[in-house]
Amino acid sequence: MVMNIKPIMAFMVMMMKIGILSTALAVEASEALPGCDEWCGKVHIPYPFGIKKGCYLNQNFSITCHKTDLNGPPKAEAFLMHTNIRVMNISTNGELHVLRPIVRNCYSYGDNYLDMNETDLSVPTMYPLSRSKNKFITIGCNHVGLILGDDQGTNVESGCISVCTRRISVVDGLCSGSGCCQLEIPKGLTKLSLAVGELLNYTEIRKFSPCGYAFIIEARRFQFLSSYIDKFEEKEVEVVLSWGIRKELELDCGLNARRNSSIFNGTHYRCQCLDGYEGNPYLRHGCQDVDECKYPWLNDCKHKDKCSNTEGNYTCHCPKNFHGDGRKGGKGCTKNSTSSIPIIIGIGVGLPVLLIATTTIYLGYKKLKFIKQKQLFFQKNGGFVLQRQLSQCNSPKDIVRIFSQEELEKATNNYAQDTIAGKGGYGTVFKGVLDDGLTIAIKKSKFMDESQTSQFINEVIVLSQINHRNVVKLLGCCLETQVPLLVYEFVTNGTLFDHIHDTTKHVPLSWEARLRIASETAGVISYLHSSASIPIIHRDIKTTNILLDNNYTAKVSDFGASKLVPKDQTQLTTLVQGTLGYLDPEYLLTSELTEKSDVYSFGIVVLELITGKKAVRFDGPEEDRNLAMYVLCAIKEDRFEEVVEKGMVSEANMEQIKEVAKVARECVRIKGEERPSMKEVAMELEALRATKGEHSWANVRLSAAGESSPFVESGSIGAVDDSMKLELPHVEHGR
């Protein structure tokens, strides 16, 4: 079993402190029904669970106990109901620890490509996986792991990519994408499967990382070791399931004053002993009074010999000739006086003075603490770094406005639910209105670590360099909160992705509108590469990062992953970051980021506009999964008109659509040096809008290459071999 020793040691220390208490209670009362077995091997079986009929609440709580050696020492294994799910521990606090298999995908010598391996990890519907206690893990240097499930009829699909081009880059204990990646699992899953497969056919990586692994495991039990990419020997790992009692079952937690119940989701509840009691709350007399006076760590009496136990509590007395509160944290014991009049007078005079003084000191302390906290957040959120970077970039001081915490809370009615404009993996966007009537969008991340702080600062720095009508305008930021906030102009009409793929909420875009949006977007990227004071590579161009206003004008957003490029450099070596389907394959393999990486991503966006299909999809044949390969194969086979989205084609615009497709094909060439610059792309698209594309440079490039057909390209991604194919289940857009 994969173990992380530090949390387990802390748990053992805690258990040692309460060991005597737990033993005493176990002697006094069993946690099973009378006459029922309480153990299956080393697994404790408390009610409402049970082994024999009549020992469990209902069939859902039955445990099958298989004895493995009747003649030798007692050995037995517990299984949930009549499934093959092996139970390791049952807790009356609503947790069930079980063993679940891992899925692996190993390279065999001579294989050209490995299919994705998949395993079913479904559990009974009344035992969903605990989201807070488990993690989804993928191990390998060239693998993608996927988790596919069903949450009350809603498909849940997620995954992460684990890559590393060198063995030395994998670090013990670090599971953030290099050799190991991890995700939080969706809430409430019962029907799910895991899959793992190779990302690319890359023989050099297989030499030191021949296998990929994917599994769900109790988070505190896993600590990544670099040796796992060579060999990970575990077959099963421990997973935490949640359980409770259905509301309609006749099991009243409140049959006596020692227990009550709490609802943990909409359909189930759990019983729990009240404070001062221990035991099994699911039994009528299962909660036993704890004698806190017997165990020093359970009471805070100043004089331990003056502790007296009460039902569900305890009392701390004062020694003889003393009175008052005998607890350590109380007012203490006071010696008895012969006359209480001086005390009464002293209290009557001193109490108001003390109250005023205490209130004044407290309010002053609260104000000082609030100021210091805001200063601490300002420093932690990179405020001083941001100020230094802005000064180095020679940005005008008023280009980035610093908002106060109170100002943004007022604008959003303290971030009320009805002000939420959108949610994603990064966090939440709120819509707010300032006192001057300006409508704003506030980007609030879910959490922030050091790497995200630098990404936050990077987005502010990048946007401070940009002045373009088709870029979402950054108005300012707030650094006084625990998680820093970015404030933008509010773009009213959603994302380009929504308008292309969600026709239930949006009217389909005409070809003229699509071409204009493509041209405007190309103009923005060309500006970033060629006209900004410091060249900028966006690094995450995709349809979800292109917003539309009421006039369907394109607004490029999300510069958190962007890079400023010094003028004396043409490429940067950096950790691969982007979105599956839009990611430049040359950048993925070499980690060398250039302006041509944005050109590739833009080419995929144009193909989306032409076809109305997603960048990566799995609802069709294998050869149709990658959008670029799907379109370019159709072009090569002279069936381009089949892939164009129905409803926007006419005899007048079909030739123009073909010319735009040629531009997109040039953008998605495998080699970056063969792709056009974004300045060329922007000029070509603008010319096509005006001239219908009769003299496209895309045609000139094809003629120069000596190609016989204007729609066949041997150097494009449509001609790549099988080593560049992606074999993945369905994955939605996301980093």
Q: Which of 449, 464, 489 is the last residue of a domain?
A: 489
Asked whether residue 300 falls in the same domain as residue 236, the answer is no
- Compute the distance between CA of residue 205 and CA of residue 194 in angstroms, rounded to an integer: 23
Looking at 57-71, 269-283, 353-367, 447-461, which range is the least confident one? Answer: 447-461
Asked whether residue 681 falls in the same domain as residue 655, the answer is yes
Q: Which of 489, 515, 538 is the last residue of a domain?
A: 489
Q: CA 120 → CA 123, 156, 192, 211, 216, distances in Å?
A: 9, 14, 6, 19, 12
Q: Which of 180, 213, 241 is the last residue of a domain?
A: 241
> Which pLDDT belongs to residue 69?
66
Q: Is residue 569 very low, low, confident or very high in pLDDT (cuts 50, 70, 90)?
A: low
Q: Rounded to 5 degrees, what are φ and ψ at 392? A: -70, -30
Q: Closest by alpha carbon to 426, among 538, 543, 545, 546?
A: 545
Asked whether residue 592 falls in the same domain as residue 609, the answer is yes
Asked whether residue 445 falls in the same domain as residue 515, the answer is no
> Which pLDDT belongs to residue 399?
65
| pLDDT of residue 709 exceeding 80 | no
Q: CA 635 → CA 600, 641, 725, distances in Å?
A: 18, 9, 18
- Number of Cβ within a 10 Å radius of residue 695: 12
More confident residue, 217 or 707: 217
Peptide bond into 729 cis (omega under 30): no
Task: Please count the structural domains in the chain.
Answer: 5
Burial class (CB in 10 A: 0-12, 13-18, 19+), 295: middle
More confident residue, 728 or 255: 255
Active-site residue identified among 115, 305, 436, 540:
540
> Which pLDDT belongs to residue 28?
52
The single residue listed with the structure tokens 């599994």 is 215
Q: Would residue 540 show up in a list of annotated catalytic residues for this protein?
A: yes
| pLDDT of residue 48 exceeding 70 | yes
- Compute the distance between CA of residue 156 and CA of residue 358 in angstroms, rounded to an integer: 55
Q: Dig out the tokens for 230 from the structure.
A: 């060579």
- Compute the distance between CA of residue 539 and CA of residue 561 in angstroms, rounded to an integer: 6
Q: Is residue 721 very low, low, confident or very high in pLDDT (cuts 50, 70, 90)?
A: very low
Query: Does residue 279 lie within any of the structural domains?
Result: no
Averaged over 632-653, what is the pLDDT? 88
Query: Does residue 401 lie within any of the structural domains?
Result: yes
**DSSP strands (E only) in 124-258:** 134-139, 142-151, 154-163, 180-183, 191-198, 211-218, 236-242, 245-246
> Which pLDDT belongs to residue 39?
93
| pLDDT of residue 733 exceeding 70 | no
Query: Does residue 22 lie within any of the structural domains?
Result: no
Asked whether residue 141 falls in the same domain as residue 105, the answer is yes
Q: Render 32-70 in DSSP notation, one character per residue.
A: S-TTS--EETTEE--TT-BSSTTSSSSGGGBEEEEES-S
Asked whether residue 418 falls in the same domain as residue 444, the answer is yes
* 434 Cβ neighbours under 8 A, 6+ residues apart: 407, 411, 440
Averaged over 200-229, what is the pLDDT? 90
Averaged over 50-64, what is the pLDDT? 93
Q: pLDDT tens digit string along 289-324? A: 888 898 888 888 888 888 989 888 888 988 888 888
Q: pLDDT tens digit string along 374-426? A: 777 777 776 777 767 666 655 554 567 878 888 999 999 999 999 988 776 56
* 265: enclosing H helix or E strand: none
Asked whether residue 167 falls in the same domain as residue 110, the answer is yes
Q: What percent of the chain has pLDDT over 90?
A: 32
Query: Does residue 162 lie within any of the structural domains?
Result: yes
- Compute the distance between CA of residue 597 and CA of residue 385 in angstroms, rounded to an integer: 28
What's the mean per-residue pLDDT of the chain? 80
- Compute the distance between CA of residue 588 and CA of residue 570 in angstroms, rounded to an integer: 17
> Which pLDDT belongs to residue 449?
60
Q: Is residue 62 very low, low, confident or very high in pLDDT (cuts 50, 70, 90)?
A: very high
Asked whether residue 529 falls in the same domain as residue 643, the answer is yes
What's 131's domain CATH number?
2.60.120
What's 615's domain CATH number?
1.10.510.10
Query: Does residue 354 lie within any of the structural domains?
Result: no
Domain encompassing residue 556: 496-724
Phi-psi region of 258 (alpha: psi -120 to 50; beta: other; left: phi over 0): alpha
| pLDDT of residue 108 exceeding 90 | no
Q: Is residue 49 very low, low, confident or very high in pLDDT (cuts 50, 70, 90)?
A: very high
Query: Does residue 440 lie within any of the structural domains?
Result: yes
Enumerate helices (H) and strands (E) in the chain, giving the number of each.
16, 36
Averaged over 115-125, what is the pLDDT? 84
